[in-house]
Amino acid sequence: MKVAFLLLLLLSGSSLLAQVPLSQPFEDCNIQGSITLYDYKAKKWIASDIHDSQVPTLPASTFKIIHTLIALETGTVANEHELVKWPGHTDTTKYGYRPDIYHDMSMKEAFQVSAGWVYVEFAKRIGKERYRDYLTRAHYGNADVSIDDPDFWNFGSFAISPVNQIEILRAVYEETLPFSKTTFKVLKELMIEEQTATYTLRAKTGWTRDGGKDTGWWVGYLERADNVYFFATRLIKDRSTPNPAFTRCRKEITKTILKQMGALE
């Protein structure tokens, strides 16, 4: 994916309004990827790569956004503070070795430290049929949860595009998805990553290692008094290609571009 310009787009994705050079943040990280944004007040889409913004891939841990809503709404957990028992094992070949997360944990902590095993335990209780129902009603990705693995958001054919990520985030912000106001309130609190006197940043990272690729996400929205900016940044590289900056660059690229837009100081 060649990331050369910041393109201001209409919702249709076809009408070019303006363009500003944007290659530098990606070049600085020596990484390929794209960023897609939506300016809520101006009702304009922004994409560094029109094609890539519509290409679906595994959501990885960004799925925890809607997954949290589903787990709460179905009563899989009573609230964000209920402890989930550590099952005593995990496949470190799939997830890597993270001894700091291997203990009984609440949903709140699991969301904040991105402890995948907690949400895998939720998945075992919720069941694929209920997922298909919620995902279909929410218009989330392709709703393909058919893989014989409860962790269908990190492995398999389940997929969502950056544009669709933002559509879901807008629906979270507007609370138009099929969930209760109480459930939305919990999620929005869990998503807070930064909060100052002038803005609130709600977001979630994601990283999957499926198919010989590292796919890294950072999705969320920045609320200011006068506007809201939604973003979905996705970086992809071959697993065989080392890049120690891969993890931090998801956020660095996003924040650089938000600053260029004047949305972030």
φ/ψ of 84, rounded to 5, equals: -105, 130
Q: Are residues 31 and 12 in contact, defined by beta-carbon separation less than 8 angstroms? A: no
157 is catalytic: no
Place of tokens 């950056």: 162
- Separation CA 148–CA 120 (nearest Å): 13
**What separation in angstroms does the CA of 242 have from each of 120, 127, 173, 213?**
28, 37, 36, 11
Identify any residues that bridge with 214 across adjacent strands, giving them in sequence order. 237
Query: By CB neighbour count within 10 A (0-12 exposed, 13-18 middle, 19+ buried), where does 56 fall?
Result: middle
**Marked catalytic residue, from 61, 114, 146, 180:** 61
For the annotated catalytic residues, the residue numbers are: 61
